[in-house]
Structure 1
Amino acid sequence: MTPQKIIQQFIFAIAVGFLFYWLNIPVGWLLGPMIVGILSATVLGYPQPLPSIFMTLGKAFLGLATAVRFSPDTLILAANYAIPLLLCIAVTGIMSLFHGYLLARFSGIDRVTGLLAFIPGLASSIVAIGEEMGADAVAIALFQYLRLLLVILIVPTLATFLFPANPESVNTVPSLTTEESSIPLVSNLFILGICSGLGIWLGQKFNLPASGFLGTFIVGLVLFWTFPEYIQVPQWLFQTGLLFVGLSIGLKFNVQTVRQLFKAVLIEAGLVISLIFCCLAIGYGFHQIAEVDIVTAILGLTPGGFEAMIATVVQLGGDTSLVLAMQLTRMLMILLLAPWLTAFVRKQDEKDV
């Protein structure tokens, strides 16, 4: 692709990204550019991928933005409920993998794509992992955000209907926004640049699955947990990562996959609803075992829709801090294990061929 064509693609992608952001569409900076890429590839009739450096940098930026959301405090809080929490996360994960297996079997997509379609976590991160592992990133993005949409629509509505708000126990929502960096912006960005470069290099050197993302994520955790000054990951850097990943994925779109994906989407919608009710049952079990209120238990173990779950628990008066700790602990475990599990499934598929 010529430099002029690349610039043109980015102009359209940025314009649609702003539009989706203005319309409050979930992760609009990923979906908007991805749609631009899909439409462009569809009009031409064949994929037209960007240079790989854009995808590599995009995944590194997502790794940083993901790492900054974790802190030792949330893990310490979750440790108070370690055994029942880990048990419920494991059962939830097994159910998710089983639904992914069913999706792959009944829709005809490959098992890695089916697996990643149902892994509950940060959807943008899962898309980045899937792309690097050789799965169908367009399908994963579509399935992940369909799952996210259904979760956001169904779970808060169902929880609000079943468990009306208790005004006397409403918690104060924890801040989900980043505070101001205590060092100059230029120095802050320089440190993030070093962290990204080091993460990409280490990921490639040690052959980490999803090296661009996972290597930077691990380096980012070490940096944010040990650096004496607060390092900020600007919102625009996260949006840039989404832009790079979304446009790169969209431009790889092959129109011949549409028919297969249409059938898979219908199957996935039913499986997602089934998974939601399975997770509600698991949340009820956690409520019984750990003696945590049922609102907190259900929303803490819901597979996705992190911000929506926090907003719902605030409204209904559950334990906001515990829901935050449960969701972040689950995300951390998924982000660390998903690449290795995906690599294992990929190897098994290669042996079966």
Structure 2
Amino acid sequence: MWFYKLLFLAVALLIGASFSSIGVPAGWLLGGLLAGIFYGLFIRAFDFSGWPFQLALALVGINIGLMMEPELFQQLIQYLLPLFITLVLTLLTGLFLGILLDRWTNLDRRTAFFCTIPGGASEVIAISSDYGADQRIVASFHTARITMFVLIIPFGIGMIYGEGNMDVQTTAQLLPTGLQISFFAVIIVGSYVLNRLISFPGGILIFSIALGFLGSEFVVNIGEVPAYISGIGQGFIGAMVGVRFERSTVVRLKSIGAASLKVLGLYLLSSLGIAVLFFWLTPLSYLTSLLSTVPAGAAEMASTAVALQLEPTLVASLHIIRVVSIFIVLPFLFKLLMRD
């Protein structure tokens, strides 16, 4: 089984590298995603939950940490109020869409609610069964939502606004140095251990960002890392997300009917609107605002921000705050929704 998984990842990275080399926006990420979708639909699906996905998260997180500047902490303070406002709107939107999905389909209310929670997909799927929801439907809906956003946003940003293909290697260095390899290995292991000790949604991503920043800023100067190292992490994320979109996902979405397409479309439109509000309330560009507020997963949007060079550390930080906040208020939202 592992041979076929490794073969699949190698093919996904090859496609991602090819996409990046010809100028496709966020080529590594989209190449891996499309390869994953094709594999899942027509060949076979693989499960990369657990440490393989965490390894990919850590690889992306370290590269974000290397780009991080100390001034980010001062910037975050000015974004907390706009983030709170848009977070409340995002939560209310998810709640409203859950009510619509409940009314438009024969799904039970618990399942409909968990299908539209704008939190981390992996974490929502994992706990949905504890609340009595149908985990298979929840997983299918969130997989479709994440896939839709990761497909649309990089292409939209790159093709419409011309800010794609920031993955191109700009340095003559082709291979990482021994120091860089050791640095990445230590940070990955440290992030994994910390995440086991102190677990919370998106934990390994934030730990790897923090350790990558602290290690490169105060411990050792590892120099400029080859750009394809970040691309490999993005390719892994894309492949592991895309391969979840397999035939059973399509079948389950069909069982819900046209309502699933309506709700996904409303999710997209509301996300574009909430990003406009965040854009008005902050000095950020609309593109960065969109990546920072769209409920499409911290890892996926952070990877997109890295690929397009649109404030990846800020995007990742705001998404982590969003996901953690949602899980804090989740029990109260659930009680509210389950009232007649």
1:262 Cα offset (Å) = 6.5
Q: Deviations over 1:152-206 (max 9, x none)?
A: 389959xxxxxxxxxxxxxxxxxx988899xx71111111110010100110112
Which residue of structure 2 aligns with residue 257 of structure 1? 252
Identical residues among aligned pairs (%):
11
Which residue of structure 1 aligns with residue 149 of structure 2? 144
- The one-letter code of the counterpart of 1:198 is G
Kindly tell me: are residues 177 and 263 of structure 1, through their superposed partners in 2, closer, same or farther at Cα, counting changes over 3 Å?
A: farther
Q: Give the gaps of 5 or more residues in structure 2.
A: 103-110, 129-137, 163-167, 295-300
| Helix, strand or coil at the partner of 1:72 | coil
Which residue of structure 1 aligns with residue 135 of structure 2? none
Which residue of structure 2 aligns with residue 38 of structure 1? 40
CA–CA distance in structure 2, aligned partners of residues 250 and 298 of structure 1: 26
* 8 Å contact from structure 1 (residues 200, 211) kept in 2: no
CA–CA distance in structure 1, aligned partners of residues 159 and 92 of structure 2: 21
CA–CA distance in structure 2, aligned partners of residues 262 and 215 of structure 1: 40
Kindly tell me: are residues 11 and 156 of structure 1, through their superposed partners in 2, closer, same or farther at Cα, counting changes over 3 Å?
A: closer
Aligned ranges for residues 72-111 of structure 1 at < 5 Å? 72-76=70-74, 78=75, 82-83=77-78, 85-107=79-101, 111=113
Which residue of structure 2 aligns with residue 315 of structure 1? none
Which residue of structure 1 aligns with residue 263 of structure 2? 267
1:67 Cα offset (Å) = 2.5
In the superposition, the TM-score normalised over structure 1's length comes to 0.64
CA–CA distance in structure 1, aligned partners of residues 153 and 49 of structure 2: 30
1:131 Cα offset (Å) = 7.2
Which residue of structure 2 aligns with residue 338 of structure 1? 323
* 8 Å contact from structure 2 (residues 16, 30) kept in 1: yes
Which residue of structure 2 aligns with residue 67 of structure 1? 65
Q: Deviations over 1:45-104 (max 9, x none)?
A: xx442584422311221221232332112444x37xx55x43222212222333333333
Q: Deviations over 1:224-275 (max 9, x none)?
A: 3423525545433333323333333444433333424964344333443344
CA–CA distance in structure 2, aligned partners of residues 13 and 343 of structure 1: 36
CA–CA distance in structure 2, aligned partners of residues 350 and 16 of structure 1: 45
Kindly tell me: are residues 14 and 281 of structure 1, through their superposed partners in 2, closer, same or farther at Cα, counting changes over 3 Å?
A: closer
CA–CA distance in structure 2, aligned partners of residues 308 and 200 of structure 1: 23
- The one-letter code of the counterpart of 1:91 is I
1:10 matched to 2:2: no
Q: Give the gaps of 5 or more residues in structure 1.
A: 120-125, 158-175, 310-322
CA–CA distance in structure 2, aligned partners of residues 132 and 6 of structure 1: 22
CA–CA distance in structure 2, aligned partners of residues 63 and 17 of structure 1: 19
Q: Deviations over 1:108-153 (max 9, x none)?
A: 665455333xx7xxxxxx6677677777352342243256269638
Which residue of structure 1 aligns with residue 204 of structure 2? 212
Aligned ranges for residues 174-253 of structure 1 at < 5 Å? 185-230=177-222, 232-252=224-244, 253=246
* 8 Å contact from structure 1 (residues 12, 36) kept in 2: no
* 8 Å contact from structure 1 (residues 103, 268) kept in 2: no
> In angstroms, what is the RMSD of aligned CA positions?
4.7
Kindly tell me: are residues 275 and 212 of structure 1, through their superposed partners in 2, closer, same or farther at Cα, counting changes over 3 Å?
A: closer
1:343 Cα offset (Å) = 6.5
Kindly tell me: are residues 33 and 88 of structure 1, through their superposed partners in 2, closer, same or farther at Cα, counting changes over 3 Å?
A: same
| Helix, strand or coil at the partner of 2:47 | coil
* 8 Å contact from structure 1 (residues 147, 272) kept in 2: no
Aligned residues: 299
CA–CA distance in structure 2, aligned partners of residues 12 and 307 of structure 1: 19
* 8 Å contact from structure 1 (residues 129, 339) kept in 2: no
CA–CA distance in structure 2, aligned partners of residues 324 and 241 of structure 1: 17
- The one-letter code of the counterpart of 1:191 is F
CA–CA distance in structure 1, aligned partners of residues 199 and 189 of structure 2: 15
- The one-letter code of the counterpart of 2:330 is V
In the superposition, the TM-score normalised over structure 2's length comes to 0.66
CA–CA distance in structure 1, aligned partners of residues 160 and 85 of structure 2: 19
